[in-house]
Amino acid sequence: MLCMPSITNADAQGLCNFVDLSPSPFHVCATVAATLTDNGFAELDETAGWPVDPGRYYVIRGGSLIAWSTEGDDTSPARPFRIVGGHTDSPNLRVKQHPDLASAGWQLVGLEPYGGAWLNSWLDRDLGVSGRFTVRAGHTTEDVLVRVDKPVLRVPQLAIHLSEDRKGVQLDPQRHVNGVWGIGGEPRSFIDYLAEETGIDAPRSSAGNS
């Protein structure tokens, strides 16, 4: 997992720093894990045997993290406990599994809305990419965080004359939110580009969210 700076300031600037470091649920987990580790928590393997001694621990699965502490003198079954939860997900445009497209001399990246995204707010904006790759590592796999903080994609606004009443444009999420990222009649491998930006070999088989 990519090492991320920890966030400890419980103020507005600390929140802004947290958001800046956490553009995807996978980055959220990395940011929180770094802070937990700095405060004495140990990461556990979900499939391995867990320690029976009291302590501070956490487990990560994909874009989810759970942390707990069993410290204290009271070990009885009646000992009270507190649960605090948070949702790390958010509406976004996700890169499709087979993203490479070309149309009318433009190179496109196939995108699809995730969650209740207000699609018009994503139009005509400089867009970067964040998420993760899952790549082969010998006989197993490992996750590699992806973050491209450059304006590599733009979803253009649909021309008003394509609206039937010329008052409002109805966006088809399967046709109108693909991202433009180059010029040319032949599709270019967006996955290869992300692999290069991330510093890994172009994967023959990959999975990820953006």
84: in domain: no
Residue 43 backbone zone (phi > 0: left; psi -120 to 50: alpha; other: beta): beta
Give the pLDDT confidence of 32-56 residue by residue, as tens digits. Answer: 999 999 999 999 999 999 998 889 9
List CB contacts of 131: < 8 A, sequence separation 6 or more: 24, 26, 95, 145, 146, 208, 209, 210
Tokens in use for 185? 């009649």
Q: pTM (2 decimals)?
A: 0.80
Task: Indicate the residue type of 204.
Answer: R
Give the amino acid at 56. R
Tell me, what's the pLDDT at 204? 55
pLDDT tens sequence across 20-30: 999 999 999 99
Q: Read off the CATH number of the domain in which 159 is found.
A: 2.30.250.10
* Same domain (yes/no): 33, 128: no
Domain annotation covers residue 163: yes
**In whole angstroms, what separates CA 52 from the centre of its chain?**
33
Whether 182 maps to a domain, the answer reads: yes
Give per-residue pLDDT as tens, 127-172.
Answer: 999 999 988 888 888 899 999 999 999 999 877 777 776 666 778 8
Q: Domain range spanning residue 44?
A: 12-69
